[in-house]
Amino acid sequence: MARKIKNQADVISCNVGQSWLYSDIVKDHFFNPRNILLDDKGYKADGIGVVGSPACGDMMIVWIRVDKKSMRIKECKWRTFGCASAIASTSMMSVMITENGGMLTEDAKHLKPQHILVRLGGLPERKFHCSVLGQEALHDAIKSFEKKWQKRKKK
> Which residues are part of the catalytic machinery?
56, 130
Angstrom distance (rounded) from CA 86 to CA 84: 5
Name the percent of the chain in helix, strand, coil, to the closest 5.
45, 25, 30
Question: 76-99 as b/e, with b when 16 or more CB fall inside 10 Å?
Answer: bbbbbebebbbbbbbbbbbebbbe
Contact 76, 138 (CB under 8 A): yes
